[in-house]
A and B are shown apart, each in its own frame.
Chain A
């Protein structure tokens, strides 16, 4: 799987949009971008995934650049409950659908 690079931490203001960047410059054509988050002492929670088109669901939006070398997860209105570690993962079906977790971004939403 292509490796990803995320900032180790970032602070966000409650009620504002949180934009979480992820670089995946070695991504190949059949690899998906997945986002999960892990709140302290819980299992990871699926947020969203995409291949090349931008995606939106009830939790977040995923913006993937045209060259697919980077993406941004957008939490439209951050709340205190969004404080978590956010993982950007690139996954290939050919690799047995394994997910390789990196360090993620520790997001702290402040009042």
Chain B
């Protein structure tokens, strides 16, 4: 019962570095998404994908890229890390891109940018 798996769990970067946060799900879900969680801000949508080869921007996409080459994987790339990107990042998936679908979350990646 792996569900949604995120790696790494923790990461410290220096300003200007780039990195990729990995997300994989084994439930054959079509819809996947990335959120960031900041204190007092709730979860905010960064990017999402309704299926392999299709991605779109969410509420806070600047500074992040995504791709969806397979159904299972949805990596999030930080192009040039900034201290404002210090946050906890969650990946989520749901069965289809239709509405009325609860999303299932991974346990997050805690990212600190120095």
Do A and B form a real pair? no
Binding site for B on A (CB under 8 A): none
